[in-house]
Amino acid sequence: MKTDFSELTACAIEAATKAGEILRAGFGTHFRISSKEGRNNLVTEYDTKSENFILDFIKSKFPHHFFLAEESGESGTVASDEVQWVIDPLDGTVNFAHGIPIFSVSIAATLHGETLCGVVYQPILDELFVAEKGKGSFMNGKPLHVSSSHDITSSFLVTGFPYNIDSNPHYCLETFVDIVKQGIPVRRLGSAAMDLCYVACGRFDGFFEINLHPWDVAAGVLILSEAGGKITQYDQSDYSIFDHTILATNGLLHSPIAEILLANYRKFQSKK
Ligand code: IPD
Ligand code: CA
Ligand code: CA
Protein backbone atom coordinates (compact mmCIF):
# COMPACT_ATOMS: atom_id res chain seq x y z
CA MET A 1 0.00 0.00 0.00
CA LYS A 2 1.41 3.39 -0.93
CA THR A 3 0.67 6.36 1.28
CA ASP A 4 1.51 9.96 0.48
CA PHE A 5 3.31 11.15 3.54
CA SER A 6 3.90 14.77 4.48
CA GLU A 7 7.28 16.49 4.07
CA LEU A 8 7.85 16.03 7.81
CA THR A 9 7.34 12.28 7.64
CA ALA A 10 9.47 11.97 4.51
CA CYS A 11 12.25 13.84 6.32
CA ALA A 12 11.93 11.60 9.41
CA ILE A 13 12.11 8.48 7.22
CA GLU A 14 15.23 9.63 5.42
CA ALA A 15 16.92 10.75 8.65
CA ALA A 16 16.11 7.49 10.45
CA THR A 17 17.19 5.18 7.64
CA LYS A 18 20.44 7.06 7.04
CA ALA A 19 21.20 7.15 10.78
CA GLY A 20 20.43 3.43 10.78
CA GLU A 21 23.09 2.92 8.12
CA ILE A 22 25.60 4.66 10.40
CA LEU A 23 24.65 2.31 13.26
CA ARG A 24 24.75 -0.76 11.02
CA ALA A 25 28.27 0.16 9.89
CA GLY A 26 29.42 0.58 13.49
CA PHE A 27 27.67 -2.47 14.94
CA GLY A 28 30.13 -5.15 16.05
CA THR A 29 33.21 -2.95 15.52
CA HIS A 30 35.45 -1.48 18.21
CA PHE A 31 34.10 1.82 19.46
CA ARG A 32 34.25 4.09 22.50
CA ILE A 33 31.78 3.29 25.30
CA SER A 34 31.33 5.50 28.37
CA SER A 35 28.88 5.72 31.26
CA LYS A 36 26.22 8.35 31.78
CA GLU A 37 24.45 9.01 35.08
CA GLY A 38 23.44 5.67 36.64
CA ARG A 39 25.35 2.41 36.52
CA ASN A 40 25.06 0.53 33.20
CA ASN A 41 23.56 3.57 31.49
CA LEU A 42 25.97 3.59 28.58
CA VAL A 43 26.64 5.90 25.69
CA THR A 44 28.76 4.92 22.68
CA GLU A 45 30.38 7.06 20.04
CA TYR A 46 27.61 5.82 17.71
CA ASP A 47 24.88 7.40 19.85
CA THR A 48 26.61 10.71 19.21
CA LYS A 49 27.37 10.06 15.53
CA SER A 50 23.77 9.07 14.86
CA GLU A 51 22.35 12.06 16.76
CA ASN A 52 24.67 14.59 15.08
CA PHE A 53 23.72 13.24 11.68
CA ILE A 54 19.96 13.39 12.43
CA LEU A 55 20.11 16.93 13.83
CA ASP A 56 22.16 18.24 10.87
CA PHE A 57 19.90 16.48 8.39
CA ILE A 58 16.64 17.83 9.83
CA LYS A 59 18.10 21.32 10.34
CA SER A 60 19.12 21.40 6.67
CA LYS A 61 15.45 20.86 5.70
CA PHE A 62 13.73 22.76 8.53
CA PRO A 63 16.12 25.40 9.94
CA HIS A 64 13.51 26.94 12.29
CA HIS A 65 12.44 23.76 14.05
CA PHE A 66 13.24 22.84 17.64
CA PHE A 67 14.72 19.64 19.08
CA LEU A 68 14.53 17.41 22.12
CA ALA A 69 17.25 14.83 21.56
CA GLU A 70 18.60 12.35 24.08
CA GLU A 71 22.30 13.23 23.92
CA SER A 72 22.15 16.98 23.34
CA GLY A 73 18.95 17.84 25.20
CA GLU A 74 16.48 20.58 24.33
CA SER A 75 17.45 23.16 21.72
CA GLY A 76 15.70 26.12 23.40
CA THR A 77 12.21 27.13 24.42
CA VAL A 78 9.85 25.93 21.75
CA ALA A 79 7.87 28.64 19.98
CA SER A 80 4.20 27.66 20.28
CA ASP A 81 3.59 27.37 16.55
CA GLU A 82 6.82 25.55 15.72
CA VAL A 83 7.56 21.85 15.40
CA GLN A 84 9.73 20.10 17.98
CA TRP A 85 11.51 16.92 16.92
CA VAL A 86 11.90 14.27 19.62
CA ILE A 87 14.85 12.01 18.87
CA ASP A 88 16.47 8.90 20.25
CA PRO A 89 19.47 8.32 17.97
CA LEU A 90 20.08 4.80 19.31
CA ASP A 91 17.42 3.15 21.42
CA GLY A 92 18.95 0.01 22.88
CA THR A 93 22.46 1.31 23.52
CA VAL A 94 23.28 -1.44 26.03
CA ASN A 95 22.43 -4.08 23.41
CA PHE A 96 24.44 -2.24 20.74
CA ALA A 97 27.44 -1.94 23.07
CA HIS A 98 27.35 -5.71 23.74
CA GLY A 99 26.90 -6.79 20.12
CA ILE A 100 23.21 -7.70 20.47
CA PRO A 101 21.33 -6.73 17.29
CA ILE A 102 18.25 -5.32 19.05
CA PHE A 103 18.31 -1.53 18.76
CA SER A 104 16.63 1.19 16.73
CA VAL A 105 16.52 4.84 15.74
CA SER A 106 13.42 6.74 16.86
CA ILE A 107 12.31 10.10 15.45
CA ALA A 108 9.03 11.96 16.02
CA ALA A 109 7.80 15.43 15.05
CA THR A 110 5.49 17.11 17.56
CA LEU A 111 3.41 20.28 17.53
CA HIS A 112 1.51 21.75 20.50
CA GLY A 113 2.28 18.56 22.43
CA GLU A 114 0.75 16.33 19.75
CA THR A 115 2.85 13.87 17.73
CA LEU A 116 2.38 14.46 14.00
CA CYS A 117 4.55 11.64 12.73
CA GLY A 118 6.76 8.90 14.13
CA VAL A 119 9.42 6.71 12.58
CA VAL A 120 11.31 3.81 14.17
CA TYR A 121 13.99 2.07 12.13
CA GLN A 122 15.64 -1.24 13.01
CA PRO A 123 18.73 -1.30 10.80
CA ILE A 124 19.79 -4.93 11.21
CA LEU A 125 16.44 -6.38 10.08
CA ASP A 126 15.83 -3.36 7.83
CA GLU A 127 12.39 -2.86 9.39
CA LEU A 128 10.97 0.64 9.00
CA PHE A 129 7.93 1.53 11.11
CA VAL A 130 6.15 4.72 10.07
CA ALA A 131 3.01 6.51 11.25
CA GLU A 132 1.47 9.83 10.44
CA LYS A 133 -1.42 11.14 12.53
CA GLY A 134 -4.70 9.93 11.02
CA LYS A 135 -3.06 7.92 8.23
CA GLY A 136 -2.43 4.58 9.94
CA SER A 137 0.90 2.93 10.57
CA PHE A 138 3.09 0.78 8.35
CA MET A 139 6.07 -1.51 8.43
CA ASN A 140 8.05 -1.43 5.19
CA GLY A 141 4.90 -0.09 3.53
CA LYS A 142 2.56 -2.77 4.91
CA PRO A 143 -0.34 -1.56 7.09
CA LEU A 144 -0.07 -2.58 10.74
CA HIS A 145 -2.67 -3.80 13.16
CA VAL A 146 -2.49 -4.89 16.77
CA SER A 147 -3.17 -8.51 17.77
CA SER A 148 -6.66 -9.79 18.54
CA SER A 149 -5.59 -11.68 21.62
CA HIS A 150 -8.08 -11.20 24.45
CA ASP A 151 -7.09 -13.82 26.99
CA ILE A 152 -4.38 -12.63 29.33
CA THR A 153 -3.35 -16.15 30.27
CA SER A 154 -2.26 -16.84 26.70
CA SER A 155 -0.89 -13.36 26.02
CA PHE A 156 2.70 -12.46 25.17
CA LEU A 157 4.06 -9.33 26.86
CA VAL A 158 7.17 -7.19 26.86
CA THR A 159 8.58 -4.85 29.48
CA GLY A 160 11.78 -3.07 30.46
CA PHE A 161 13.49 -1.99 33.65
CA PRO A 162 14.76 1.49 34.44
CA TYR A 163 18.43 2.28 35.03
CA ASN A 164 17.60 3.08 38.70
CA ILE A 165 16.30 -0.47 39.21
CA ASP A 166 18.41 -0.71 42.40
CA SER A 167 15.77 1.44 44.12
CA ASN A 168 13.01 -0.76 42.63
CA PRO A 169 10.75 2.15 41.66
CA HIS A 170 7.02 1.44 41.49
CA TYR A 171 7.71 -2.12 42.78
CA CYS A 172 8.54 -3.08 39.22
CA LEU A 173 10.47 -6.18 40.31
CA GLU A 174 7.55 -7.64 42.27
CA THR A 175 5.18 -6.79 39.43
CA PHE A 176 7.39 -8.60 36.95
CA VAL A 177 7.64 -11.67 39.21
CA ASP A 178 3.90 -11.67 39.78
CA ILE A 179 3.10 -11.69 36.06
CA VAL A 180 5.75 -14.29 35.21
CA LYS A 181 4.47 -16.51 38.07
CA GLN A 182 1.07 -16.60 36.35
CA GLY A 183 2.79 -18.36 33.47
CA ILE A 184 2.53 -15.36 31.14
CA PRO A 185 5.65 -15.08 28.96
CA VAL A 186 7.28 -11.66 29.35
CA ARG A 187 10.26 -10.54 27.26
CA ARG A 188 12.71 -7.73 27.90
CA LEU A 189 14.15 -6.58 24.56
CA GLY A 190 16.00 -3.43 25.67
CA SER A 191 14.56 -0.96 23.14
CA ALA A 192 11.31 0.67 24.22
CA ALA A 193 10.76 2.07 20.73
CA MET A 194 10.86 -1.46 19.33
CA ASP A 195 8.66 -2.78 22.14
CA LEU A 196 5.93 -0.33 21.11
CA CYS A 197 6.30 -1.14 17.39
CA TYR A 198 6.16 -4.87 18.14
CA VAL A 199 2.82 -4.37 19.92
CA ALA A 200 1.69 -2.30 16.91
CA CYS A 201 2.37 -5.17 14.52
CA GLY A 202 0.90 -7.85 16.78
CA ARG A 203 4.14 -9.61 17.75
CA PHE A 204 3.42 -8.72 21.38
CA ASP A 205 0.01 -8.12 22.95
CA GLY A 206 1.14 -5.54 25.49
CA PHE A 207 4.02 -3.50 26.90
CA PHE A 208 4.51 -1.79 30.25
CA GLU A 209 7.40 0.14 31.74
CA ILE A 210 8.20 3.00 34.10
CA ASN A 211 10.57 5.98 33.99
CA LEU A 212 10.93 6.17 30.22
CA HIS A 213 11.83 9.43 28.52
CA PRO A 214 9.94 11.26 25.74
CA TRP A 215 12.56 10.24 23.13
CA ASP A 216 12.11 6.52 23.99
CA VAL A 217 8.38 6.59 23.26
CA ALA A 218 7.30 9.57 21.11
CA ALA A 219 7.45 7.79 17.74
CA GLY A 220 6.40 4.35 19.01
CA VAL A 221 3.31 5.64 20.79
CA LEU A 222 1.94 7.18 17.58
CA ILE A 223 2.83 4.04 15.60
CA LEU A 224 0.95 1.90 18.12
CA SER A 225 -2.02 4.18 18.42
CA GLU A 226 -2.38 4.40 14.62
CA ALA A 227 -2.28 0.57 14.54
CA GLY A 228 -5.34 0.43 16.81
CA GLY A 229 -3.53 0.09 20.13
CA LYS A 230 -4.32 1.72 23.44
CA ILE A 231 -1.84 3.69 25.55
CA THR A 232 -2.45 4.99 29.08
CA GLN A 233 -0.65 5.39 32.37
CA TYR A 234 -0.75 2.35 34.70
CA ASP A 235 -3.90 3.73 36.37
CA GLN A 236 -5.52 3.94 32.90
CA SER A 237 -5.52 7.73 32.91
CA ASP A 238 -4.57 9.65 29.76
CA TYR A 239 -0.95 9.30 28.70
CA SER A 240 1.53 11.90 27.53
CA ILE A 241 5.14 11.17 26.53
CA PHE A 242 6.28 13.01 29.68
CA ASP A 243 4.44 10.61 32.03
CA HIS A 244 6.13 8.27 34.45
CA THR A 245 4.31 4.99 33.67
CA ILE A 246 3.19 3.56 30.33
CA LEU A 247 0.83 0.71 29.58
CA ALA A 248 0.49 0.06 25.84
CA THR A 249 -1.63 -2.82 24.58
CA ASN A 250 -3.81 -4.16 21.80
CA GLY A 251 -6.75 -2.56 23.67
CA LEU A 252 -8.48 -5.87 24.45
CA LEU A 253 -6.01 -6.75 27.21
CA HIS A 254 -5.65 -3.25 28.58
CA SER A 255 -7.85 -3.51 31.67
CA PRO A 256 -6.71 -7.00 32.74
CA ILE A 257 -3.05 -5.96 32.55
CA ALA A 258 -3.74 -2.64 34.29
CA GLU A 259 -5.45 -4.55 37.11
CA ILE A 260 -2.34 -6.66 37.73
CA LEU A 261 -0.05 -3.64 37.60
CA LEU A 262 -2.18 -1.65 40.03
CA ALA A 263 -2.99 -4.53 42.37
CA ASN A 264 0.73 -5.06 42.84
CA TYR A 265 1.43 -1.43 43.36
CA ARG A 266 -1.26 -1.21 46.04
CA LYS A 267 -0.14 -4.46 47.71
CA PHE A 268 3.47 -3.37 48.10
CA GLN A 269 2.58 0.21 48.91
CA SER A 270 0.43 -0.99 51.85
CA LYS A 271 3.35 -3.06 53.20
CA LYS A 272 5.61 -0.01 53.43
C1 IPD B 1 16.56 2.47 26.92
C2 IPD B 1 15.72 1.43 26.22
C3 IPD B 1 15.28 0.36 27.19
C4 IPD B 1 14.57 0.94 28.40
C5 IPD B 1 15.44 2.01 29.07
C6 IPD B 1 15.78 3.09 28.04
P7 IPD B 1 18.52 3.75 25.60
O8 IPD B 1 16.96 3.49 26.03
O9 IPD B 1 14.59 2.02 25.62
O10 IPD B 1 14.39 -0.55 26.58
O11 IPD B 1 14.29 -0.10 29.31
O12 IPD B 1 14.75 2.56 30.15
O13 IPD B 1 16.54 4.10 28.66
O14 IPD B 1 19.23 4.20 26.85
O15 IPD B 1 19.05 2.48 25.07
O16 IPD B 1 18.36 4.82 24.59
CA1 CA C 1 16.09 5.19 24.62
CA1 CA D 1 19.35 6.27 23.30
- CATH 3.40.190.80 intervals, the chain: 152-270
191 lines ligand 1 (CB under 6 A): yes
Distance 104 CA to ligand 3 centre (A): 9
93 lines ligand 1 (CB under 6 A): yes
The minimum-distance atom of ligand 1 relative to the CA of 161 is 11
The minimum-distance atom of ligand 1 relative to the CA of 162 is 12
Compute how many other C-beta atoms are within 10 angstroms of the C-beta atom of residue 148: 11
- With the most atoms of ligand 1 within 8 angstroms of its CB, the residue from 68, 122, 191, 215 to mutate is 191
* pLDDT for the residue numbered 2: 52
* pLDDT for the residue numbered 272: 62
212 lines ligand 1 (CB under 6 A): yes
Ligand 1 atom 2 nearest Cα: 191
* pLDDT for the residue numbered 38: 67
Of 49, 164, 188, 41, residue with least CA distance to 105:
49
* pLDDT for the residue numbered 1: 46
| Residues paired with 104 in a beta bridge | 91
- CATH 3.30.540.10 intervals, the chain: 7-143
- With the most atoms of ligand 1 within 8 angstroms of its CB, the residue from 41, 47, 88, 91 to mutate is 91
What is the CATH T-level fold of the domain 152-270, as seen in this structure? D-Maltodextrin-Binding Protein; domain 2 (3.40.190)
* pLDDT for the residue numbered 80: 73
Q: Which CATH architecture has domain 7-143?
A: 2-Layer Sandwich (3.30)
Q: How many whole angstroms separate alpha carbon 168 and alpha carbon 54? A: 34
Q: What is the 3-state secondary structure (H, E, C) of the chain?
A: CCCCCCHHHHHHHHHHHHHHHHHHHHCCCCCCEEECCCCCCEEEHHHHHHHHHHHHHHHHHCCCCEEEECCCEECCCCCCCCCEEEEEEEECHHHHHCCCCCCEEEEEEEECCEEEEEEEEECCCCEEEEEECCCCEEECCEECCCCCCCCHHHCCEEECCCCCHHHCHHHHHHHHHHHHHCCCCEECCCCHHHHHHHHHCCCCCEEEEECCCHHHHHHHHHHHHHCCCEEECCCCCCCCCCCCEEEEECCCCHHHHHHHHHHHHHHHHHCC
- Whether the full predicted model's pTM is greater than 0.85, yes or no, is yes
Ligand lying nearest the CA atom of residue 192: 1
Q: Which residues lie below 8 Å from residue 216, measured CB to CB, with a gap of 6+?
A: 88, 91, 106, 192, 193
Ligand lying nearest the CA atom of residue 102: 1
Task: For the chain, 272 residues long, give each residue's pLDDT as a single digit of tens.
Answer: 456 889 999 999 999 999 999 999 999 999 888 887 766 778 899 999 999 999 999 999 999 999 999 999 888 777 678 999 999 999 999 999 999 999 999 999 999 989 999 999 999 999 999 999 999 999 999 999 999 999 999 999 999 998 788 878 788 888 899 899 999 999 999 999 999 999 999 999 999 999 999 999 999 999 999 999 999 999 999 999 999 999 999 999 999 999 999 887 777 667 66
* pLDDT for the residue numbered 65: 95
* pLDDT for the residue numbered 199: 98
